[in-house]
Amino acid sequence: MKRSVRVDLHIHTNASDGKNSVIDYVLKAREIGLDVIAITDHNTFKGVRSYIKNYGEKYHNVLVVPGIEVRTNIGDVVVLCSKIHEDNDVPKDIDLLIDWCQMNNYIVILAHPLDITRSGVSFKNLMKYVDRVDFIEGFNAGSSIIINNLIMMYMCKKHSLRCIAVSDAHSIKSLGIAYTVINDVDEYYVENVSKFIDYLNSKNINVSMSISYKAFIPKIIRKLLNL
Ligand SMILES: [Zn+2]
């Protein structure tokens, strides 16, 4: 049976600079109806490695994808993997990283492009690499400068880029305030991580962005208002 699958593919845990553990995110994902979450800590698989060891890839009907946010020579890039590597195995040079991901069939996403305050790739590099990566973050709820998201949303539309929306959550409060809906997915593809990664690699994938009003409020103000 085919259905829409709700995914949030950029999340930080207390294994890097986030506040919560993977299991906290899984329980929250179940509560708010997310089907898939990707754990993408800064330069480490530590949190997701111990989670999967204890709970497996799918728990409480939430699929957990191991990922990593890599600080490359051109800026931050999110990689989604079907297996967990040693942190040092992941190349930091963007060309080597893309080659490594293609070799392994992994997914490459340019994280918060244009956000120079958070090492997003520049406009020049966005244009240079847009055809070599799988997705672009068209909306990142962790961006403090809202104009970046507006420009990216405009560019996604204008150039028909494969764009996704992510929360870039650093605590369970922000989980899913922006997420991506993948339409018409056969249940088979959300049974485990390698099937899901295969599906993300397919060319006819149909995605749309879902963004809550909270995601348009800068992170610092959300914190002040306790949203
Ligand atoms: Zn991030």
What structural domains does the chain harbor?
Answer: 2-225 (3.20.20.140)
Which phi and psi (to 5°) does residue 102 adopt?
Answer: -65, -40
Q: What's the CA-to-centroid distance between 2 and ligand 1, angstroms? A: 31
Contact 105, 201 (CB under 8 A): yes
Distance in Å, CA 182 to ligand 1 centroid:
21
Can you point out the beta strands (E) in the chain?
A: 2-11, 36-42, 58-59, 62-72, 75-80, 107-110, 135-140, 163-166, 178-186, 206-211
pLDDT in tens, the chain (227 residues): 899 999 999 999 999 999 999 999 999 999 999 999 999 999 999 999 999 999 999 999 999 999 999 999 999 999 999 999 999 999 999 999 999 999 999 999 999 999 988 999 999 999 999 999 999 999 999 987 788 899 999 988 888 888 999 999 999 999 999 999 999 999 999 999 999 999 999 978 899 999 998 888 877 788 888 87
**Ligand 1: distance of its center to the CA of 177 in Å?**
14
- How far away, in angstroms, is 195 Cα from ligand 1 center? 24
pLDDT in tens, 138-171: 999 998 778 889 999 998 888 888 899 999 999 9
Task: Calculate how far, in angstroms, residue 82's C-alpha sits from the geometric centre of ligand 1.
Answer: 19
* SS3 assignment, position 210: strand
Output the CA 10–ligand 1 centroid distance in Å: 6
Nearest to 211 by CA among 140, 143, 147: 140
CA of 110 to the centre of ligand 1 (A): 11
Alpha-carbon distance 127 to 216, whole Å? 25
pTM: 0.94
